[in-house]
Copies of this chain bind each other. A is one copy, B any other.
């Protein structure tokens, strides 16, 4: 169960064949709570779980205000952690938000998130990455399909599929405002991507993904097998999904913004090593290289 650079190949000149995942999906006790047996079974099978309105309106308000404030904070002008849209100045994402917002810091250690994450990981957890994503109304851009693990493995040196992402909706996720789409069961296959990664390419890729995206054929095969689940859920809902889920989202021309906070819990036993793609590691605000166990 040890991954080497031969286990999951990607960013090669020609597209490698997809390979089956070698790691378990749930590393802890599936019935050891707080996930129920049914929830564990569903997560194991699909790679995702949706908890509607896990946070109440007051909690969502506090997070929303904190994070909107960041987009206007003059102290963050020119800060590398603030990512803007490719065609404008609108803020698309802010990284390392648990260090910029008390509300996010509190959320990260909230047992509703952390206990579920630790059950899945079968160990203590630390934050690999946090960010807020703003998909504005009218001209919100798409996020093209990708597996986070593919990127984290190749560009950050995450050894194994032993991380869980939690996306918390700050606004309603509707059928029409570019909600998160996940291919159920895609977490069971590692889809390698063609194309060597230029060094330092992450600055552009955080605006618009160009490397680490699947071929049309590979994506079509995953979708043929698993379909697409587009998450539609009210504000305060949380989606837990496996690091290797193929996911993306369409653009958004509706007036309804779609904002979310995104927290990645990694197992303390899965700390980063040298990137498997051979490039320089990305900065620590994108991929934490120090392990600080939570809880």
Is A211 in contact with chain B by the CB < 8 A criterion?
A: no
**Interface size classification for chain A:** 20 to 34
Mostly, the A contact residues are loop
Is A176 in contact with chain B by the CB < 8 A criterion?
A: yes
Is A123 in contact with chain B by the CB < 8 A criterion?
A: no
How near does chain B come to A146, taking the closest CB pair, in angstroms? 11
Contacts of A295 in B (CB 8 A): none
Stretch at the interface among A101-109, A235-243, A245-253: A245-253
Is A49 in contact with chain B by the CB < 8 A criterion?
A: no
Stretch at the interface among A25-33, A51-59, A216-224, A282-290: A216-224
Is A232 in contact with chain B by the CB < 8 A criterion?
A: yes
How near does chain B come to A225, taking the closest CB pair, in angstroms? 12
CB pairs A–B below 8 angstroms (12 shown): A137-B216, A138-B219, A142-B253, A145-B253, A175-B175, A176-B181, A181-B253, A223-B255, A228-B254, A228-B256, A249-B253, A250-B251
| A residues apposed to B, CB below 8 Å | 137-138, 142, 144-145, 175-176, 178, 181, 216, 219-220, 223, 228, 230, 232, 248-256
